[in-house]
Amino acid sequence: MKTVTLIYGDGIGKEVIAAAKAVVEATGADIAWEIQEAGAEAAEKYGQPIDDKVIESIAKNGVALKGPTATPIGKGFRSVNVEIRKRLDLYVNLRPLRSFQGVDCLYPDLNLTIVRENTEGLYTGIEQQVTPDHAEATKIITRGASERIVEYAFQYAQKMGKKKVTAIHKANIMKLTDGLFLNCAKEVAAKYNDIQFNDKIIDAACMDLVLNPASYDVLVAPNLYGDILSDLASALVGGLGVAPGANIGKNAAVFEAVHGSAPDIAGKDLANPTSAILSAAMMLKHLGYSQAGEKVEAAVAQAFAHGEKTVDLGGNLGCKAFTEAVIKYI
């Protein structure tokens, strides 16, 4: 039996994570759940959005399934996601993106993966208010973090049978920081003769992803660029509602829905649980339950192919009914 930390999060998190939990249990995978609380609602109850016992639970179990958590804009506490990644050194943000038959999207045969560095760049949050009209942020890029994220991208490409890795950067302008990232990528790429390597400037990559996404297999990027590209690429396959995600480190991994907490529809059975369900499928594979994970992915694909979709995707099913459809195909 595997024990997994379960964090429902805020807003629709309670609904989509309940759906993912039900789907996992339908596969018969031998999993025990250890429930923890984090997010804005936890902050109201306990005075802080995340405390040590949540981090300790994930560290002990090695795996968590997490719902979306709300983060105040321009004030209040920092992101729960950033705190978890920082405390547990979850240096990889992994976003495999594929299109599904039956889901309207721009590219019906798309299958690519974004590997985002999770621990540095501008997201370290090192900022200062120089004057009331002047604020500054420090961007940090290191050789160690750059090398290990690119290594992960190439190892992932080999494991998944991908043919090409593309490094994303802005080294033409950020010559020292992004220049270091690009140089590290080239050095690592030289060790993988079986995988094609190229690089792309971030703004050109955004345009090219919209015009010609099939030319990419695996994209590896520093933190901010990877965040932007992940959402952009999600739009190509139908939106954040169908995009799974994971944050992975040497000793722990957190699998989570990549969309927000959507408080305006919380409790109305309108949420699309696909992102959480597919993230749970990734979790099952990570835990060694590969057949169970593949069953979940196949069941989601079958539901879509038979026209069983949530309202946001043009269907007429609520969160619970779609979950029941997925379980039916399992």
Give catalytic residues, as residue numbers: 123, 170, 203, 227
Phi-psi category of 44—alpha, beta or left, where left has phi over 0 and alpha has psi -120 to 50? alpha
Tokens of 20: 């993912």
Looking at residue 311, the DSSP 8-state letter turns out to be G
Say how far apart CA 283 and CA 293 lie, in whole Å. Answer: 8
Whole-number Å distance between alpha carbons of 330 and 324: 10
**Cβ pair 42, 50 in contact under 8 A:** yes
CA distance 280 to 18: 11
- Which residues are paired to 140 by β-bridges? 121
Rounded to the nearest 10 degrees, how much is the dihedral formed by the CA atoms of 24, 319, 273, 43? Answer: -100
Q: CA 60, 247, 80: angle at the middle one, nearest 5?
A: 80
125 conformational bin, left if phi > 0, alpha if psi -120 to 50, beta if neither? left
User: SS3 for 167?
Assistant: strand
